[in-house]
Amino acid sequence: MEFNRSHRIYDFMGIRKYWIALSITLSVLSTILLFKPGPKYGIDFMGGTELTVQFGGNVDSGRVRAVLDRMGHDHSEVVPTQRPNEFIIRVEKSSPISPVRREQIRHSLADRLPNTPGAGSLGDFRLSPGGDHLVVQLNDSTLSATQVAELVRGAGANVRGEAALQMGALDDHRWQVPLVGIGDEIFRGLVAPDGVGADGQLSASVWVSPKAGAELRYAALRAVLYSIVFIMIYVAFRFDLRFAPGGILALFHDSVVTLGFFVVTRKEVTISTVAAILTVVGYSMNDTIIVYDRIRENLAKRRNSRMLDIINLSVSEMLSRTILTSLTVVLSVSAFAFIGTGVIRDFAWAMIVGVLAGTYSSIYVAAPLTEWIDSRFFHTEAADPKAAPTAADLPARSV
């Protein structure tokens, strides 16, 4: 399939000032939005707990939110899914036990140990980041697994099950006591008699500690920056200094515009979003390099032509390829954008916005900067404007 069957040369650069103005506006606004109000990070980056619950009867999201508020989760998020009476619930807490409560349990447990009162009888005491198990070392060889679980329960912990699990060597006296995690705690509160008034099923529960979320956030930022730096080095070696700045500027443009879209629509920025942005960076650079290759090829053939006319010729030659490639990608991910759920839908929207931005940035961000650098520092414009290529000069070939 070829859209430019007549091999017409379009004057893309003649209207570049309008597209450049649009790109600058979008980039500036997106940059401002990244600082205020800022991205809406998911639990991957902020920490917290996400669970998926499907209720057996008709349940309103407002009722679910009211029960969560009563349980102490003031800033909870309740998102209905496409399934009936199913909700994705997000809360800021990743553990049901606060640091203060943990210390209270530790002191109470030390005082409850038989025949050895005081904190000296309690060795190791560690709570998992998600608060779903407790590791204790009890300096008493007479305690059974059931007695350890009862001691921890009596100290104020919400123990799950009837027995603890012994860890390591027998003379270590180290036990792992399973606790009710925050996902189970929220679910039990929702289906309790004073909850939403309906039974339910907990389909999934995921938690991320705030510290791990911060580490993931910075790691994702480094991944994007490193990818752009290495691509810049590649383009500098692959072409020359006329082309590299335009390609890098296009990458920043596409990344910032995609993130700006997420801020405006208040979609969550998660690990999947970063994966989509890295995919967009790769797609955009691939599209830009293909256009650059054709520009460099035509520069060698038409040494007396202006860079402006070479760009128009090259983009016109690549028009069919650009439209078909971009349209194929957009159509492929559109189904996920409209009928997908959760992170799949957000990934698809990031791809759609990024591909559209990357397609026009290759023409109206990368190419105009290359033309400006060429005219400003390399002085390769033709002395004779009549040397510009025409439709008759274009070889009869398909892309």
- pLDDT of the residue at 381: 45
Q: Does residue 77 carry a pLDDT above 90?
A: no
Q: Does residue 285 carry a pLDDT above 50?
A: yes
Answer for the pair 382, 305: CB distance below 8 angstroms, yes or no.
yes
- pLDDT band for 198, please (50, 70, 90 cuts): confident
Distance CA 274, CA 221 (A): 8
Helix (H) or strand (E) holding 171: none
Q: Does residue 5 carry a pLDDT above 70?
A: no
**pLDDT tens-digit series, residues 335-352:** 888 877 667 888 888 899
**pLDDT tens-digit series, residues 304-325:** 888 889 999 988 888 888 888 8
Distance CA 371, CA 313 (A): 13
Distance CA 91, CA 203 (A): 16
Task: Output the average pLDDT for the chain.
Answer: 81
Q: Which two tokens mark 167?
A: 């860890």
**pLDDT tens-digit series, residues 131-141:** 788 888 887 66
- pLDDT of the residue at 231: 77
Distance CA 286, CA 366 (A): 12
- pLDDT band for 78, please (50, 70, 90 cuts): confident
- pLDDT of the residue at 387: 47
Residue type, 211: K
Q: Does residue 32 carry a pLDDT above 90?
A: yes
- pLDDT band for 1, please (50, 70, 90 cuts): low
- Specify burial of residue 145 (Cβ count, 10 A radius: 0-12, 13-18, 19+): middle
> Who wins on pLDDT, 113 or 355?
355
> Who wins on pLDDT, 260 or 170?
260
Residue type, 115: N
Residue type, 96: P
- pLDDT of the residue at 385: 47
Q: Where are the alpha helices (DSSP H) in the chain?
A: 16-35, 43-46, 61-70, 99-112, 145-154, 182-191, 210-238, 244-265, 271-301, 307-317, 319-339, 342-361, 367-373
Q: From the CA atom positions of the chain, what is the Rg in Å?
A: 30
In sequence order, the 6+-apart residues with CB closer than 8 A to the CB of 176 are 133, 134, 135, 164, 165, 166, 167
Q: Which domains does the chain have, with CATH numbers?
A: 12-42+210-393 (1.20.1640.10), 48-95+183-208 (3.30.70.3400), 99-179 (3.30.1360)
Of 366, 240, 263, 254, whose CA–CA distance to 311 is shortest? 366
Q: Does residue 119 carry a pLDDT above 70?
A: no
